[in-house]
A and B are shown apart, each in its own frame.
Chain A
Amino acid sequence: MNESSRLWKDMLGRTLYRAVAMATLAFVLAPLVVVVWASFFSNKILSFPPQGYTTDWFIRAWQQDVFRQGFLLSLQLGVMATLWSLLLGVPAALALARYNFPGREAINAILMAPMMVPGIVAGAAVYIFFIEVEIRTEIPLVGSLPGLSIAHVLIGLPWTVRLVTASMVGVDRQIEEAALSLGANPLVTFFKVTLPLVRPGIVAGAMFSFIVSFIDLEKSLFLVGPGRVTLPIAIVNYLEWNLDSTIAAVATMQILVIAAALLVSDRYFKLSRSF
């Protein structure tokens, strides 16, 4: 084989590799782009190409109780999951990052378990458990706000623990010791020294807790009830029977909420650097 045909082959190979890489990127982004695009079509029946553009579908989506309530419920659950994950997860992360005690690895594994157990299996187990508790105590859990909240805290907790622990490991303990030896009490030291140092981890943990709670499908699927359906479940239920620009508008609303969460947290930590 002569030199020039080798060079041709190498160039062809390089072009092919770039083409596959870019095609893969387009493939991953395609459904999002298309769903946002379709939410502005003026066609009565969703089809391509569009005959014109309108924002009516967003108004129609908001007028449907199941989507409006679903949107607000998912927002509420997301905020609740974030706050409780921080309240429980930040102290746990501190303990895991700072102290060396027997069974530390096991405790860490327990706290990561909600992320590891498949959603559909965990959802089924929690559903059965809640109904058993309901039968014995008559406290309604399935289809109730407390029941959904517990499940969503469980969804957010491992993310908070993991991201806060990771950010704590890099913090020099001597900075805190310096503050203490200069007369700051432990409480002041925690809020004025420790917290600012681990803030990127806390913001990242909060953001991920909110997002994984907001988009959750499998666990929520078992626990929603009449009049209390989260946004992703409302989307899935609707898609089982219909496909139109209304649902594209609802999906676009979910995209906007998550984009907003990403933008808000962008000031404190860089998403692309956490991978």
Chain B
Amino acid sequence: MTSFVALSHGGRSSDTARAAPLLTAAVLLVIVFLFLPLAIMFRFSLNKFVPGQFMVEALVLENYQKFISDEFYRGVLYTTIRVALVSTILSLIFGFPLAYMIARARSARTKNILILLVVIPLLMGNAVRTAGWMVLLGDRGVVNMLLQMVSLTTEPIKILYTETAVLIGIVAVLLPYMIITLYSIIEGIDRVYEEAASSLGARPSEVMRLVIVPMAMPGVYVGSAICFILAMNAYATPVLIGGPEFHMMGPKVYEQITKVSNWPFGSALAFVLTAVTAVLTILSSITVQRRYGRM
């Protein structure tokens, strides 16, 4: 118990001795139940899958080659990247004005309420929100009812089970992350910059374009990276809102591992997804930073 409260600001070795017992259990838990499983899964992605025999020990790149040569799975990856990219950009465009409004709210009370309203949907979980979107977008849903009320259509329009619907669902999932990230950066930008620009004759649109947006770039990078990673790995939205004909990588990993029981190929899919996500995130942040300056 003495290790909880250090009596002296001792050297590094005594710090290590005090810290070690406090950290051991937590670190072991993560290593045994996350890192070790990931390592085993990577090893299995190099095994062979023989129908009827489950998994055969091997050291081959067969599963990765199968992924590259299979047109269907390449298509699934393209769809995943396209959906993730478009939904990230949409979240950025629609999230920015609200993030700015929150950061510049006049009273602390308004600010707190707005933050809560943005964060609460995030905390309610994807299952609940996906249910909400299905009610909104279905043939007998709210959107179709409104469209029929204003006589834009007589027959219900098919919205659910289309890529548009998936984009709507994923953007709704991403927006709170984007808004909170942008808000925290814009909050830190001193108002005097805006005031100086306006008093020197800049119009509001110019203040936004030439002062706020460039200074908020770090938030744009971080927020976009978080959103892109989340969208690449989406599960519930593509399965439920996209329907059985819509294919993204996350659901395919689940399908291969639990339903088809093709562990080698399922594991390879998981690592292709992780690697592609990582490479695209890093590459885009390098090119964007080169174009718009460092964070």
Contacts and interface: CB of A to CB of B under 8 A. Distances in A.
Q: Is the interface of A mostly helix, strand, loop or mixed?
A: helix
A119 B235 contact: yes
B174 to A, nearest CB: 10
Interface string B97-123: 110110000000001111111111101
A73 interface: no
A35 interface: yes
A180 B282 CA distance: 49
A273 B112 CA distance: 8
Interface stretch (B69-77, B129-137, B216-224, B285-293): B129-137
Contacts of B175: 24, 27-28
A8 to B, nearest CB: 12
A217 B103 CA distance: 32
Contact of A34 (B20, B111, B135, B239): B135
Contacts of B273: 118, 120-121
A232 B127 contact: yes
Contact of B257 (A124, A231, A235, A248): A124
Q: Is the interface on chain B under 10, 10 to 19, 20 to 34, or 35 or more residues?
A: 35 or more
Contacts of A153: 29
A25 B131 CA distance: 18
B49 interface: no
Given A46-B140, A118-B274, A124-B253, A30 B27 contact: no
7 contacts: A95-B22, A118-B232, A122-B34, A124-B257, A124-B266, A125-B40, A125-B270
Given A117-B38, A235-B131, A258-B123, 12 more contacts: A28-B172, A31-B135, A48-B145, A89-B26, A92-B23, A118-B229, A118-B232, A121-B233, A129-B37, A173-B6, A232-B128, A272-B116
Interface of A: 6, 9-10, 13-14, 17-18, 20-25, 27-35, 38, 45-49, 88-89, 91-92, 94-96, 98-102, 104, 107, 110-111, 113-114, 117-129, 132, 150-151, 153-154, 157, 161, 173, 176-177, 180, 186-187, 189-190, 194, 211, 214-215, 217-218, 221-222, 231-233, 235-236, 239-240, 243, 247-248, 251, 254-255, 258, 262, 270-273, 275
Interface of B: 1-2, 4-7, 12, 15-16, 18-23, 25-27, 29-31, 33-38, 40-41, 44, 94-95, 97-98, 100-101, 111-121, 123-136, 138, 140-142, 145, 172, 175-176, 179-180, 183-184, 203-205, 229, 232-233, 235-236, 239-240, 250, 253-254, 257-258, 263, 266-267, 270, 273-274, 277
